[in-house]
Amino acid sequence: MTHRFNPPGMWQPDGRAFNQGVVQGEGAVVHVTGQVAWDEHGAVVGTGDIEAQMEKSVDNVRLVLDEVGGTLSDIVSMTIYFLDRADLPVIQRVRARHFPAGTAPASIIIQVPGLVVPELLVELVPIAVVPYGRFRPPRER
Q: What is the share, in percent, of the chain residues with pLDDT greater than 70?
A: 100
129, pLDDT greater than 90? yes
Q: Which among 3, 118, 136 is positioned nearest to 70, based on CA atoms? A: 136
pLDDT at 21: 85
Task: Determine the average pLDDT of the residues in 117-136.
Answer: 97
pLDDT at 75: 96
18, pLDDT greater than 80? no
Band (pLDDT 50/70/90 cuts) for residue 101 is confident
Spell 84-112 as b/e; 16+ CB within 10 A means b: eeebeebbbebbeebbeeebbbbbeeeee
pLDDT at 118: 97
pLDDT at 8: 87
For residue 1, the cross-strand partners are none
Task: Determine the average pLDDT of the residues in 75-101.
Answer: 96
Domains of the chain: 30-130 (3.30.1330.40)
